[in-house]
Amino acid sequence: MSNNAAVCKDGGEIGRSQALQAIAARATPHSDMNPILLKPEGNTRSQVIVNGKPLASANGKPIEAADYFERRQQLWPMVTSALDRLREQYDLVIIEGAGSPAELNLADVEMVNMSVARYCQSPVLLVGDIERGGVFAQLLGTLWLLPPEDRALVRGLIVNKFRGDLRLFDRGVEILEMRGNVPVLGVLPWIDALRLPEEDAVALMNSHGADDFCFSDYDNEKRLDIAVIHLPHIANFDDFDPLANDARVKLRYVRHAKDLGCPDVLILPGTKNTLGDLAWLRESGFEAKILEFAQSQKSRIVGICGGYQMMGQAIHNPHEMESNSTYSDGLKLLDVETTFHPGKQTCQVEATILESDFLPRLRSVTLTGYEIHSGQTTTSSPWLKRLHVSGIEVPGIEQSQSRMDGSHSRDGRFWGCYLHGLFANDSFRNGWLESLGANNMAHASQEQSTQDVLEQSLEKLASHFENYIDFDQIEAMLQSDPVSLQHENKAT
């Protein structure tokens, strides 16, 4: 369950964490790696993505939570089929659980933990997060609550995110092994500055707000203050990781209108519920703050995907896709209008920046990214032209319109587009930041590419794991355990 998603080459939609793990394993992300993805749209309503595509109810609207569990018998074969296909392609498949395998109220309907392990009789490693506290209750409590047939699959324990001297937990390892009757394969220390995409928006709850408002200095040089509004249904906020990792930028997520201040740039991010979050902007006082901010000639406002839709003149919802409201005024910062249709566009995109007065330094620069949205937007001032699209496009949209994207105000202070991953394009990010004055700031010459940042973090995590986890036990487990992990026809 996550609103942070990725788009595979065939247009299939999977969770960001599964895509990241595929990249770390040097495998191509595919919808089989995440056969069911739940994308929350409200307290009890989620969009259900099955085999990379939305599963809709008869009227084309999202499925309620109770509905989802009632469909378990229909969905379960899709899970096992996806797993079987992966087992035919790879020597080793790692199955990631979600939440706790001992959620007793869901034991008869859950499909994400022991049900999958039980299906293929896979050995299980149980991981406890010591940073959250109660690691003994986490690990031992889970073992004691599992039924005998599930507990028998657990082959080892791992303690994660330990802060301090590891020797202080030696006695803890002994207790876990003695009371759990399962070996502890290692204790992973906390890793500082691990810059990887977050799985979902829970991580943002620990981000700074009002207390982090003031500028920080690098060698007495101020960074650009970029504020992202933390919408209730914020989605794909890893779009902004390249900015957060940029030494010239101070990126902050703002949850309360009073904490907005006067940033150099205000960003409206993607959302899984554009109409609901637009209403929230009005109810929370953010809309008034945004429009007041827009009056300053120094203000810059950017919208990505759902945020781009919000910046337009109006949003039409004739099929009541996201809510019962069929129409809403936009923030009227851009000359665009959006209409929601039952179809959903999920595709990888290669695009170029059109020649215009908008971002003149970046004319003809080629960008890559992905689109993942319901709704189509008409624009009179596009600044992106799609060169290549791989995936699922919504049928019935005029081809010339579908090949253009984005809009900008006449003075270029306000702009938006559908392209996720925009700031991961180093040439675009650097050119845009330089247009805001970042070229005069400290550390401008020390910027790393987005790909380098990701690779270094993955290598750091891999080395860390190898240094502190007993791989001999893992290899012995794979060789001796009577599970069908290997096949005659193997692929690396």
Active site residues: 305, 420
* DSSP state letter for 469: B
DSSP β-bridge partners for residue 414: 301
Q: How far apart are CA 359 and CA 384, in angstroms?
A: 11
Q: How far apart are CA 290 and CA 303, in angstroms?
A: 12
Residue type, 376: Q
Neighbour tally for 147: CB within 10 Å: 11
Buried b (16+ CB within 10 A) or exposed e, 357-391: ebbeebeeeebebbbbbbbbbbbebbbbebeebeb
Structure tokens given for 6: 């990725």
Give the number of residues written for the chain. Answer: 492
Q: How far apart are CA 439 and CA 415, in angstroms?
A: 21
Dihedral pair phi/psi, residue 50, rounded to 5°: -120, 125
- Is residue 252 within 8 Å of 300, Cβ to Cβ? no
Residue type, 273: N
Q: How far apart are CA 418 and CA 376, in angstroms?
A: 10
92 conformational bin, left if phi > 0, alpha if psi -120 to 50, beta if neither:
beta
DSSP β-bridge partners for residue 227: 252, 266
Residue type, 145: L
Closest C-alpha to 305, from 436, 407, 409, 428:
407
* DSSP state letter for 442: T
Buried b (16+ CB within 10 A) or exposed e, 265-299: bbbbbbbbbbbbbbbbbeebebbebbeebbeeeeb
Residue type, 392: I
